[in-house]
Amino acid sequence: MPATVFERYRSIIDDWDAFQASLIRPQPAALRVNRLKADPAALRARLEERGFRLEPYDWYPDLWRVAEEPFSPALTLEHWLGRFYLQEAAAAVPVLALDPQPGETVLDLSAAPGGKSTQMAERMGNRGMVVANDPDPRRLAALSHNLQRLGVTSAVITRADGRQFPGGLAFDRVLVDAPCSAEGNARRSARARQGVGRHQRRRLPAVQLALLRRALALVRPGGVVVYSTCTFAPEENEAVVDQVLRAAEGSVTVEPLPPALPGVAGVTAWEGQRFRPEVEACRRIYPHHLDSGGMFVARLRKRGPVPWEEPGAEGGGEGSRKASAARSGVPARPGTGWVEADAGLRQRVVAWLGEAFGLDESVLEGAYAYGNEDQGIWLAALPRVPGWEAVWSAGIRLVRGHGATWKPTSFGLMQWAAGATRNVVDLDRQELQALLEGRQISAPPEAPLVRRGWIVLRYRGHAVGCGFWDGQRLRSALPHERAGELLSILRREDEGR
Ligand SMILES: C[S@@+](CC[C@H](N)C(=O)[O-])C[C@H]1O[C@@H](n2cnc3c(N)ncnc32)[C@H](O)[C@@H]1O
C-alpha cells in the first residue's frame, strides 16, 4: 500500500513500521455477541463446530477476533438471526468509553448503520431508551434493519441533522460517532486509502465541531459525551475537542478512558498548533494495535451548562418540544412532547396473537404498542416516546396495515412468535429452501394450520418469518432481501454437509 497519504502522520504514530505493515495485511473480521439474543458459550460452540476459530479480546470478552473463517461469518444463520453483529474491533471502543447503563436515556447522534446503537441497547439490557439518529434516509433503512434483527426494543429512530437535533429531553449520555475522512478504514476501503480532498478536509471539522457542540448542549449537567471518529487526522480529532474545551469555559472536562481499553494517548500538538494538555487523555487506536481499523475516542463530562446552550431548552427543559405524527409511525399528541403507548391497541394485539398463533400475553412482557394507519403497529419497551417530528420509528414493527387486515412482519414474528402453537409450520431445510426460492409447497400434514392466512415459518426452532397458507399450499412472505440472505445461508449449509 502506498504510504504517501499517511506520511503526514509519521511523527505521531507510535510505531511507524508496525503501522505500515498492518496496512498491507488483510483485516480479520471481529464479531460482537448480542446477549439480547445469544448465550455466548452456545454461540461460540455452534460457530466453532462449523470451523470458525474465535479469540475473545481480553479488554472485551464479548468481542471475538475471527482468527479462522471457513466462510464469511455473515453467511451464518446465527448472524441472520441477530445473535451477533460484525463490528470491527476498534469500533467497539467508543460505546465502552460511553458506558451506558440500564434505564438511562442515551442519544447516538450519528447512528447508521447501527453498530454502536445496537451495542448500547445490548449493554443496557433493552432497558432505558436509545435514540438512534441519522439524517441519511438510505442509511436509516440499514439502521432500522439492524436494530430489529438484533432484537432491540428500546430504541427510537430519528431522522435529523445532528447539528439541529431537537432539545427537550435530558440525555444521560450522548455519542457523537462523527462523519469523518475514515482513514482508519484504509485496510478495507480503497476510497479511504486515497484520502479526502482539500474541500472535505476543511468541511469535516466544521461539521464535527457543530455536532459535538450540539451533543454537549443536549446532555444533562453531569452527563457524558463521547466523541469518536475512525480517522487519524488531528484536525478532525484533538483539534475539535480542543476547540470545544476552549469555548466551554470550564463547563466541559476530558476524562481518561479505562486503562484496559486499547490505544495510545491523544496528541497535544500538530503542524504548529498546540492543543490544551487535557486532550492527551483522548485515545488513538491504530490498525497495528488490535489488527483492526483505526479509531479516535474522547470522553467528555459536562460539569454545568455550556455557554452556547439556550436556557431551559436543552438537557431536560420543556422549551423546545414539538409534537407531530409526521413520518413517525408513532402518533404524537401535540403539546405534551411525549407520545404515550396505546394500552387499547396493545390489548388488541394480545387478542390477535392469541387467536392467530396461540400465543399468550406473556410474550409481550415489557412491550408497549404504538401505531397508525400508514405504518402499522410497532412494539417497544418504552411506555412513552418523544413527540418530535424527527421520530421515524420506535421498537420493532409487528404488523403492517391496520384495521381488519393485519399482516405480520417477519421481524415481528422472529421476535415474538417462536412459541406459536397454531398457524405455524416447522420446516426442514429442503422445504424452507423451496419456499425461499419462490416455490409453493404442501403443508406438512401434522402442521397446526387452523385457518387460511398468515402463518409463522419456523426452522430449527427459530421463527424465521411470515408465510401464507391458502388452505392447501404454503408460500413465503419474507421480504425479498431477507429471503435472499437466508437462501444463501441454507445453500452454504448444504455445501458444508
Ligand atoms: C461513522 S458513520 C456512523 C457509524 C455508526 N455510528 C455505527 O456505529 O454503525 C457517520 C454517520 O454520520 C452521519 N451524518 C452525516 N452528517 C450528519 C449530520 N449532520 N448529523 C448527524 N449525522 C450525520 C452519516 O449519515 C453516517 O451514517
pLDDT for position 312: 60
Whether residues 422 and 354 share a domain: the answer is no
Residue 360 known to bind ligand:
no
Mean pLDDT (the chain, rounded): 92
Whether residues 424 and 491 share a domain: the answer is yes
Cell of 75: 453467511
| Domain of 482, in residue numbers | 418-495
Query: Is residue 386, in this structure, part of any structural domain at all?
Result: yes
Q: Which residues pair with 240 in a beta bridge?
A: none
Ligand 1 centroid to Cα of residue 487, in Å, is: 31
> Amino acid letter at 451?
R
Cβ 114 under 6 angstroms from ligand 1: yes
Q: Please, which pLDDT band fits residue 402 given cuts at 50, 70 and 90?
A: low
SS3 265: strand
Query: Is residue 387, in this structure, part of any structural domain at all?
Result: yes
Query: What pTM does this model have?
Result: 0.95
The secondary structure element, H or E, covering residue 463 is strand 462-469
Task: Tell me the per-residue pLDDT of 55-75, one tens digit each, with 9 for 90 and over.
Answer: 999 999 999 999 999 999 999
Cβ 162 under 6 angstroms from ligand 1: yes
Query: Is residue 286, in this structure, part of any structural domain at all?
Result: no
| Separation of CA 107 from chain center | 12
Q: Please, which pLDDT band fits residue 313 given cuts at 50, 70 and 90?
A: low
Cβ 139 under 6 angstroms from ligand 1: yes
Going from the C-alpha of 380 to that of each of 147, 148, 229, 244, the distances in angstroms are: 12, 11, 30, 36
Cβ 116 under 6 angstroms from ligand 1: yes
CATH number at residue 458: 3.10.450.720
> Amino acid letter at 448?
P
Cβ 73 under 6 angstroms from ligand 1: no
Ligand 1 centroid to Cα of residue 139, in Å, is: 9
Whether residues 395 and 453 share a domain: the answer is no
Q: Is 282 considered catalytic here?
A: no
| Cα–Cα distance, 211 to 196 (Å, whole number) | 20
Of 382, 410, 438, the last residue of a domain is 410
Ligand 1 centroid to Cα of residue 182, in Å, is: 11
Of 379, 410, 441, the last residue of a domain is 410
Nearest CA to ligand 1 atom 1: 179
* Ligand 1 atom with the shortest distance to the CA of 119: 8
Whether residues 453 and 486 share a domain: the answer is yes
Output the DSSP codes for 394-432: ESEEEEES-TT--EE-HHHHHHH-TT--SSEEEE-HHHH
pLDDT for position 318: 35
Give the count of domains, the chain: 2
Query: Is residue 364, in this structure, part of any structural domain at all?
Result: yes
Q: Among the listed ranges 52-56, 166-170, 260-264, which one has the minimum average pLDDT value?
A: 166-170
* Ligand 1 atom with the shortest distance to the CA of 207: 19
Residue 322 known to bind ligand:
no
Query: Is residue 287, in this structure, part of any structural domain at all?
Result: no
Nearest CA to ligand 1 atom 16: 179
Of 303 and 5, the structure prediction assigns the larger pLDDT to 303
Whether residues 441 and 405 share a domain: the answer is no
Cβ 184 under 6 angstroms from ligand 1: no
Whether residues 398 and 422 share a domain: the answer is no
> Which of 95, 109, 110 to mutate to test ligand 1, by most ligand atoms within 8 A of the CB atom?
110
pLDDT for position 329: 57
pLDDT at 256 over 70: yes
Whether residues 400 and 449 share a domain: the answer is no
Of 356, 375, 410, the last residue of a domain is 410
Whether residues 397 and 422 share a domain: the answer is no
pLDDT at 403 over 70: no
Query: Is residue 130, in this structure, part of any structural domain at all?
Result: no
Task: Tell me the per-residue pLDDT of 100-113, one tens digit each, with 9 for 90 and over.
Answer: 999 999 999 999 99
Smallest CA-to-CA distance from 19 within 9, 34, 30, 29 is with 9
Mean pLDDT of 119-139: 97
pLDDT for position 322: 37
Mean pLDDT of 323-349: 71
Cell of 468: 401464507
Q: 95 with 173: CB under 8 angstroms?
A: no
* Ligand 1 atom with the shortest distance to the CA of 177: 6
Query: Is residue 63, in this structure, part of any structural domain at all?
Result: no
Task: Tell me the per-residue pLDDT of 186-212, one tens digit each, with 9 for 90 and over.
Answer: 888 777 777 777 778 889 999 999 999
Cell of 158: 430519528
Ligand 1 centroid to Cα of residue 295, in Å, is: 15
Residue 412 known to bind ligand:
no
Q: Please, which pLDDT band fits residue 335 given cuts at 50, 70 and 90?
A: low
Going from the C-alpha of 280 to that of each of 212, 239, 266, 355, 376, the distances in angstroms are: 18, 12, 4, 61, 49
Query: Is residue 380, in this structure, part of any structural domain at all?
Result: yes
Q: 410 with 477: CB under 8 angstroms?
A: yes
Cβ 293 under 6 angstroms from ligand 1: no
Ligand 1 centroid to Cα of residue 159, in Å, is: 11
